[in-house]
Structure 1
């Protein structure tokens, strides 16, 4: 599964970082960085919570077929 960020929508609030810190990080400039673009084993629910909690709807998950 892949994690996608629409950087045109992202405002760097950091909700995603607080919910899935192994995947998301807001840098010192307030910009979101992906630590990995794949969902780590056992962390799907955390990443889904981050996607659902994003107020700007900038995050999405591409599920494996």
Structure 2
């Protein structure tokens, strides 16, 4: 059985923000890749940057990939 990725980035809302959750806990709303990387660093993934965010199989992008920030 394959488990769901622990990080979920939800579709952009009307302001272009995307909710970010790790293991079911909400980390906040990201407006770009740097925000996602910062949230993940705060969650314990020290040293992660924007390229790690784009390439990681741990992240499930809903409603568009890492290049989608507008509704």
The TM-score, its normalising length taken from structure 2, stands at 0.27
Return the index of the structure with the highest Cα Rg.
2
- Which has the bigger relative contact order, CA under 8 A and spacing at least 6? 1
TM-score, normalized by length of structure 1?
0.28
